Every structure is written in C-alpha cells, then in structure tokens.
Amino acid sequence: MKEQLKRLKQEFQTALEQAGDSKTLEELKVAYLGKKGRLSGLMAELKSIPPQDKAAAGKGINDLKQSLQAGLEAKTKAFAQAEQARALDAEWIDVTLNPADRGLGAFHPVSLIQRRLEGLFTAMGFQILDGPHIETEHYNFEALNIPAHHPARDMQDTFYFTDGHLLRTQTSTIQIRGMEYLKPPLRIIASGKVFRCERADASHDSCFHQIEGMMVDEDISVAHLIYFMKTMLTEIFEKEVKVRLRPGYFPFVEPGFELEISCLICDGKGCSVCKRVGWLELLGCGMVHPSVLRSGGIDPQRYSGFAFGVGLDRLAMMKYAISDIRELHNGGLGFMRDFTLPADLAFRR
C-alpha cells in the first residue's frame, strides 16, 4: 500500500507540473479525488488489508488526499493570479491622464466656406439672415416669379408635405423674407440646407447647402454684381479668379446669368475637370426681376438689385479638391480628418 501511495503521489506531481490551464486542473481533480477517482479506488482496497495495517494505510490515504488537494489549490490560485495580472496589464488605464487623443473638434468644410463668406460679406455691410427649411409654395416659388404649373418648377422638384408645405429647394426664399423684413437699401446673405428630389451621384444629393446674397438700392447694376462675385471668389480661392457671365434662366432674375470661373485646375487651358473648355459653371445670379421686388414690397421704378445663389458644397469641393459630394454628407470621420484640420488652420488668420 505504501508503495502504491508513493507512486500515485509521484504521478500526480508530474501531471500537476505539466498542467497548463485550469481546465486540466479540473480534470486532474476528477481523476484523482473524484468519486470514481484513484483515491476512492485505494479506499476500496482498504477492505482487503490486514486489520493491524488498516489504520496506517487509512492515514496514508488521508495524508495523500490532503497533499493532492493542497497541490491543486496552490496551482489553481497561481493560475487565477496570472489571469488577473494579464487582465490588469491589458486593461490598464491611467485615470490621471487626459483621454488619449480624442482630437480637437474642427469645422466641417461646408461650414468653413460658409463662415468665411459670412465674414467677408458682413465686412462689406451685408446682414446675415436665416429662413425655415419647411416653406410655403409662396416663398419658394410664387413670390419668386414661378407661378403654379410654370414649367420652371420642374427644374427644382422637391418633397411636398400633405398640407401644401414643402422643403425649400433654394435659399432664394430668403430674398423675399429679407425684403419683407428690411426696407431698401438692403444687403443680405443667407445660407443653409436646401432639398431637391434628386438621385444622388458624385455631384448631386437630395440635400445640399447654398448661400444666397442680395443687394437692393438705387442704381444697382451688373457692374456691382460682377464686383461682389469677383471679391467673393477671390476670398474663397485665395487668388484672383477670372469670371465670365453667360445668359442663364432663373425666373426671379432678369437678366439672369450663369457665372463661370476659369478652371482652377488647369488655369483655363482645358482639362478633364472643366471638360476641356477651360471654364467651370459655378453659380446663378442676375438682376432681381421687377415682379420679385414687387413681391417683396419694393418699388421697381425706384430700386434695382442683384442676387446670387451658390452651392457651398460645390465651393468646398473645388477648394479642397473633393470629387464626390456624398463625402461631405455621410459623416465619415476618417474623410473629415484627412483635411478638416489643415483647412481649419488655413482659415485662421
């Protein structure tokens, strides 16, 4: 019996030393100390031992049992400690430190352009106005010289509510609101989201941003319009840009123009961006139509004015060479990080 106990102890020691995880420990426990384990086997053998040896053998088995239990416990504890150390190591945080590089917040490229233009125009005596996204047909169309059923409505299809309201298709609505609110002479700019029933692609989205400008005074002419447009574009692109006006149809201006700039990529020589013509269509503008002035309660005999509307997204895309408008709208932080910060710095003076 003694021999048996000794061998069992040795076997157990070797197995215990080799055990690499707590699952193996569990298996050892079952194999040695379990109901049908090796020790129970020895206990059963006690029966066949001569009475005078029984007490010593029983004690031997008990001692062995205790020593096995102690060995298992020690190793189980060691495993738990190692596991805890590993976890502490991996999940370690220094609560006295500032959060690791959360990054400085920065303005979205569209906001950068908007703020820069607001700064420029307010410096030139313009007032910043705002208007609602949800509009009436009156402000979005009728007062802007686009009566119901006029084909020009098709140029700007939008989303209608069942009660006759709609999502504004252009910031030109604020021309009317501005004229109602201010008496001439007036200089206003207004920017914000506009909506159109548009299939999204690289240069279209159903929601985008515009900035609108309007100046009404006595003797305002196309020369004023050109001056302010050139000033605006030089501010944005930070260099002298060549512009040209081509006739363009917008029911609320007469004459109306499409303003084009000489391509900034090829300097007007012709490249794939400007489709080899050297010029890029950038914005709509013109002299405010007399009936629009009248809608705003202003006498067209005495006053004249110019107005323009330009896509802020379009300007941001040109300034930062962004080829897909959806990048500006999908909230992807990776894309924003690529250039928002340098752009922000570039805009700080």
Q: Which is nearer to ligand PHE, 71 or 311 (CB)?
A: 311
3-class state of residue 99 by DSSP: coil
What is the closest distance, in whole angstroms, from the C-beta atom of residue 265 to ligand PHE in the complex? Answer: 24
60, 178, 184, 286: which one contacts ligand PHE (CB under 6 A)?
A: 286
Indicate the residue type of 130.
Answer: D
Strand partners, 258: 246, 284
The first and second tokens of residue 242, run together, are 């060549």
Is 192 among the residues that bind ligand PHE (CB under 6 A)?
A: no
285, 287, 318, 325: which one contacts ligand PHE (CB under 6 A)?
A: 285
Is 170 among the residues that bind ligand PHE (CB under 6 A)?
A: yes
Candidates 72-80, 218-226, 250-258, 317-325: pick the segment binding ligand PHE (CB under 6 A).
Answer: 250-258
Is 158 among the residues that bind ligand PHE (CB under 6 A)?
A: no
| Pairing, β 134-135 against β 243-247 | unpaired
Round to whole Å and give the CA distance between 124 and 119: 9
Is 307 among the residues that bind ligand PHE (CB under 6 A)?
A: yes
Candidates 27-35, 93-101, 112-120, 302-310: pick the segment binding ligand PHE (CB under 6 A).
Answer: 302-310
Q: Which is nearer to ligand PHE, 72 or 144 (CB)?
A: 144
| Contact indicator for 206, 232 with CB cutoff of 8 Å | no
DSSP secondary structure of 272-309: TTTTTSSEEEEEEEEEEPHHHHHHTT--TTT-EEEEEE
284, 313, 316, 327: which one contacts ligand PHE (CB under 6 A)?
A: 284
Q: How far is CA 16 from the centre of its chain?
A: 56
What is the closest distance, in whole angstroms, from the C-beta atom of residue 307 to ligand PHE in the complex? Answer: 4
What is the closest distance, in whole angstroms, from the C-beta atom of residue 107 to ligand PHE in the complex? Answer: 24
What is the closest distance, in whole angstroms, from the C-beta atom of residue 309 to ligand PHE in the complex? Answer: 3
Strand partners, 253: 288
Is 282 among the residues that bind ligand PHE (CB under 6 A)?
A: no
Is 296 among the residues that bind ligand PHE (CB under 6 A)?
A: no
Candidates 30-38, 305-313, 316-324, 331-339: pick the segment binding ligand PHE (CB under 6 A).
Answer: 305-313
Round to whole Å and give the CA distance between 343 and 193: 22
The first and second tokens of residue 331, run together, are 């909230």
| Contact indicator for 335, 327 with CB cutoff of 8 Å | yes
Binding residues for ligand PHE, total number by CB under 6 A: 11
| Helix-strand-coil split of the chain, %, nearest 5 | 50, 20, 35
Is 304 among the residues that bind ligand PHE (CB under 6 A)?
A: no
Round to whole Å and give the CA distance between 113 and 262: 20
Is 309 among the residues that bind ligand PHE (CB under 6 A)?
A: yes
Residues that bind ligand PHE (CB under 6 A): 170, 172, 250, 253, 256, 284-286, 307-309
